[in-house]
A and B are shown apart, each in its own frame.
Chain A
Amino acid sequence: MNRDAMNCETVRRNLSLFLYDELSLEEEDALQSHLESCQGCQAALASEQAMHRGLDRLEAPVPAGLLVQCRNGLRSGLREASAPARKSIWQSLWDLPLLLGPALKPMGAVALVAVGFLGARFLPTSVPGVQADTPAAKVRYITSEPDGSVRLVVDETRQRTLTGSLDDERIRGLLLEAAKDPANPGLRVETMDIFCKRGSDNEEVRTALLQALQHDTNVGVRLKALEGLKPFAGDVETRKALARVLLSDENPGVRAQAVDLLVQQKNVDTVGVLQELMRRESNDYIRLRGQRALREMNASVESF
């Protein structure tokens, strides 16, 4: 496209591609040259820029926590995707000659010897504070080496026992992961229990308790999380979470504990929540607690 071909119509058709920096150098030169001498097209460019800025504002934000949920979901998905094929290393090695076929049986035999030798040599014996058990393993990848041996890449799941306090970042990190393990509610309850007893002053622990209270599908976990949040009953974030749970949790036991915790401190920010509670709650105990708290705060039981 030469410079002379850039009339107003062509310039305006190309303004968007110009802003995306997707014109050829020749087209860009011609367009800029036209713009210098055409006020109408300068105004059109300003309008196009405004539209681009407007579109920038329309990007749908990724909701907080969605990325973490996605990553956790993927971990579970990957576990499921790998699970059916999981065998012990000895079972995998037992199957190896069959997998490789009769012609490669000698290689399989070499592999068995090689892995036995390497296993004895390299598998860790003992690490202070850590007990190593027999690893579960799965053969991932097999290649034949020129010297007749076989090279195996093996996934190993090794159980270890770790001991330490919640001040230990590694221990705390593992517990925070366990608190989100979707496949094991028992583990989540245990984790919440530990957080209740030992983690009262840690910010990460408080966040995990708040998450569990509001999003865990298991009632036992939510009740434990409530117990763990008692020391934080005065802070704003916890009170907001308690209010949400009080008005939306399907379990009356959870709502009862939430109301108890929420009304411990007579705070005007709870009046609206409690009035709303009166409107929608059917459980007598919870209604009674709400009414009493409203009376103590000299507030009306009903909202207007």
Chain B
Amino acid sequence: MDETALIKAAQQGDQDAFEQLVRSYDQNVLRLAMNLLRSPEDAYDIYQEAFLRVYKNLGNFRFDCSFHTWLYRIVTNLCLDHLRKRKVRKEESTVVETSEGPLDRMTTVPEERVDGDPQRKLLSHQLKERIQNVLTDLTPRERLVFEMRHYQGMRLRAIGEVLGTTEEAAKNCLFRATQKMRAALGDFV
């Protein structure tokens, strides 16, 4: 069944069609949320909220845009809200409290192999700190555009559609994000 048929079937209450639809996109949605928020708990919440919203509002989807764009509007709005709340609460500290004690969120970032070399280990640690700082420096919108272009491989035109802006505006956003990355990480990579 092609995607249009799946969506129509899901709109008419076909649960299997809805599940197939979810499975076509959910890995990328989870990757996006995990990479943006760097917390499995938050990524889990975004996943649940996003697909429950899709389920509740699928009847209103009128094929005015692609389903991918519509879904990503929901996901990115949720992620933006989350990132903005974090900014307000100044919650970008790398350490979070979990049921198993304090956990450094940056441990979710794979560390470059340092082969026991203390000098490289130090550099790797400094690199992590710099990344954390530069991620905090990016605006939520810059961060989102960067994530969608770099890790999800989406074209700027599609990113613009998702964010309700022009391709040019998305390009400027990506440009600012990469400039900040370059300024912060240039001598490390």
CB-CB under 8 A from A50, the residues of chain B are 189
**Contact A81 to B44, CB < 8 A, known contacts A57-B110, A153-B13, A155-B13:** no
Chain B, range 1-42, C-beta contacts under 8 Å to A: 11-13, 15, 18, 22-23, 26-27, 30-31, 34-35, 38, 40
> Is A71 an interface residue, CB under 8 A from the partner?
yes
Determine which residue in A69, A70, A71, A155 has the highest number of CB atoms from chain B within 10 A of its CB, and name it. A70
Give A70's nearest chain B residue, CB to CB: B47
CB-CB under 8 A from B13, the residues of chain A are 140-141, 153-155
> Is B56 an interface residue, CB under 8 A from the partner?
yes
> Is A101 an interface residue, CB under 8 A from the partner?
no
Q: Which of B67-75, B76-84, B171-179 contacts A (4 or more CB under 8 A)?
A: B171-179
Q: How far is the CB of B13 from chain A (nearest CB, A)?
A: 3
> Is B109 an interface residue, CB under 8 A from the partner?
yes
Give B44's nearest chain A residue, CB to CB: A70
> Is B185 an interface residue, CB under 8 A from the partner?
yes
> Is B138 an interface residue, CB under 8 A from the partner?
no
> Is A121 an interface residue, CB under 8 A from the partner?
no
Say yes or no: A67 contacts B30, CB within 8 Å. yes
**What is the bound-complex CA distance between A53 and B55, given in angstroms?**
37
Give B38's nearest chain A residue, CB to CB: A60
Give A153's nearest chain B residue, CB to CB: B12
Give B27's nearest chain A residue, CB to CB: A67
Say yes or no: B12 contacts A81, CB within 8 Å. no
Say yes or no: B112 contacts A57, CB within 8 Å. yes
**What is the bound-complex CA distance between A22 and B131, given in angstroms?**
24
Partner of A73, one of B15, B48, B182: B48
Say yes or no: B12 contacts A141, CB within 8 Å. yes
> Is A129 an interface residue, CB under 8 A from the partner?
no
Chain B, range 102-153, C-beta contacts under 8 Å to A: 108-110, 112, 131, 149-151
Q: How far is the CB of B11 from chain A (nearest CB, A)?
A: 8
Q: How far is the CB of A5 from chain B (nearest CB, A)?
A: 17
Say yes or no: B22 contacts A55, CB within 8 Å. no
**What is the bound-complex CA distance between A140 and B182, given in angstroms?**
53
> Is A17 an interface residue, CB under 8 A from the partner?
yes
> Is A124 an interface residue, CB under 8 A from the partner?
no
**Contact A58 to B27, CB < 8 A, known contacts A17-B175, A81-B52:** no
**What is the bound-complex CA distance between A246 and B46, given in angstroms?**
33
Say yes or no: A16 contacts B189, CB within 8 Å. no
Give B29's nearest chain A residue, CB to CB: A70
> Is B188 an interface residue, CB under 8 A from the partner?
yes
CB-CB under 8 A from A71, the residues of chain B are 22-23, 26
Partner of B181, one of A13, A51, A63, A69: A51
Q: How far is the CB of A63 from chain B (nearest CB, A)?
A: 5
Give A50's nearest chain B residue, CB to CB: B189
CB-CB under 8 A from B47, the residues of chain A are 70, 73-74
Say yes or no: A77 contacts B48, CB within 8 Å. yes
Determine which residue in A53, A66, A74, A77 has the highest number of CB atoms from chain B within 10 A of its CB, and name it. A74
Contact flags B148-189 to A (C-beta < 8 A → 1, else 0): 011100011000000000000001001100110110011011
Give B46's nearest chain A residue, CB to CB: A70
25 A/B residue pairs, CB under 8 Å, sorted by A: A16-B174, A16-B178, A20-B149, A54-B185, A55-B189, A56-B150, A59-B35, A60-B35, A61-B108, A62-B30, A66-B34, A66-B40, A67-B30, A70-B26, A70-B44, A70-B47, A70-B48, A71-B23, A73-B47, A77-B51, A78-B15, A78-B18, A81-B55, A140-B12, A141-B12
Question: Which 4 A-B residue pairings sit nearest by Cβ, starting from the closest?
Answer: A140-B13, A54-B189, A16-B178, A70-B47
Known: A17-B171, A60-B108, A66-B34. 18 other contacts (CB 8 A): A16-B174, A16-B175, A17-B178, A20-B150, A22-B171, A48-B182, A51-B189, A54-B189, A59-B151, A60-B34, A62-B27, A62-B31, A62-B43, A66-B43, A67-B26, A71-B23, A74-B22, A153-B13
